[in-house]
Chains A and B, each alone.
Chain A
Amino acid sequence: MSKHIPVIIITLPLLFAFVLPVLGFAGAGPRVRNFLVTAVFIAVNIMIFSLIPSVSLDGGIIYYALGAIDPTVATPEGLDFPVRILLKIDGFSLFIAIIIGIVSLTSYIYSTGFIEEDGKTNYFAVIFMLLTAGLLGMTFTNDLFNFFVFLEVASIAGATLTSYVTWKKHPPYAGFKYLLISSIATTFFLLGVGLCYAQYGSFNIEYINLSLSHSLLDRIALVFMISAMAMKAGAVPMHIWVPDTYSEAPTPVTVMLKTAGIVCLYALFRISFSLFGNPLSGIVNSINNTTLGWIVIILGVFSMFIGVSMALIQHDVKRLMAFHSVSQVGYMLLGLGVGIAVYTNNDNGQAFQIFGKVAMAGGIFHIMNNAFYKSLLFLTAGVMEKRFGTRNLDSMIGLAHKDLFTTIAFVIGALAISGIPPFNGFASKLLIYESVYMFSPMLSIIAMFVSVLTLASFMKVFYSSFLGPRREDLIVNDKKIPLGMTIGMLVLCVLVVLMGLFPDIVINNLVEPAISGLVNLK
Chain B
Amino acid sequence: MNFAEHLLKQDIGVFWYPAIMLLILLFIMLIFYIWGRLYFRKDYNADTDQVKPYNSGNLDEVNYSLKSSNLYWGFRKSMEGYFNFLRSLHNGDLNDYSKWFVIFIALCLLLVGGGFL
Contact = CB atoms under 8 A, between A and B. Distances in A.
B14 A361 contact: no
Nearest to A289: B117
Mostly, the B contact residues are: helix
| Residue with the greatest number of chain B CB neighbours at <10 A, chosen from A240, A306, A507 | A240
Given A244-B92, A469-B61, A238 B68 contact: no
Contacts of A393: 67-69
A431 B98 CA distance: 35
B1 A464 contact: no
B42 interface: no
B16 interface: yes
Contact of B117 (A288, A434, A511): A288
A177 interface: yes
Interface in B4-63: 4, 6-8, 12, 14, 16, 18-19, 21-22, 61
A39 interface: no
Interface string A497-522: 00011111001100110000000000
Contact of B111 (A240, A291, A460): A291
A489 B66 CA distance: 29
Contacts of B64: 397, 468-469
A460 B106 CA distance: 39
A62 interface: no
Nearest to A219: B112
Contacts of A461: 68
A312 B86 CA distance: 12
Interface stretch (A81-89, A224-232, A406-414): A224-232
B105 A224 contact: yes
B1 A353 contact: yes
B111 A421 contact: no
Nearest to A392: B68
B86 A220 contact: no
Interface in A448-476: 456, 460-461, 463-464, 468-469
Nearest to B75: A312
Interface residues of B, number: 46
Nearest to B16: A430
Given A180-B94, A502-B18, A310 B86 contact: yes
Interface string A286-316: 0110011001000000000010011011010
Interface in A360-407: 361, 393-394, 396-397
A427 interface: yes
Contacts of B105: 188, 223-224, 227
Contact of A220 (B18, B98, B112): B112
A280 interface: no
A508 B1 contact: no
B112 A394 contact: no
B92 A238 contact: no
A502 B72 contact: no
Given A238-B101, A241-B97, A394-B67, 16 more contacts: A184-B101, A220-B112, A227-B104, A227-B105, A227-B108, A243-B90, A313-B76, A393-B67, A422-B18, A422-B21, A427-B18, A430-B7, A460-B71, A502-B18, A507-B7, A508-B4
Interface of A: 177, 180-181, 184, 188, 216, 219-220, 222-224, 226-227, 230-231, 237-238, 240-241, 243-244, 287-288, 291-292, 295, 306, 309-310, 312-313, 315, 353-354, 357-358, 361, 393-394, 396-397, 421-422, 427, 430-431, 434, 456, 460-461, 463-464, 468-469, 500-504, 507-508, 511-512
28 contacts: A219-B112, A219-B113, A227-B101, A227-B104, A237-B89, A237-B100, A240-B96, A240-B97, A240-B100, A287-B112, A291-B116, A295-B108, A309-B86, A310-B86, A312-B72, A313-B76, A315-B69, A421-B18, A427-B18, A430-B14, A456-B72, A460-B68, A460-B72, A500-B18, A501-B18, A501-B19, A503-B18, A507-B7
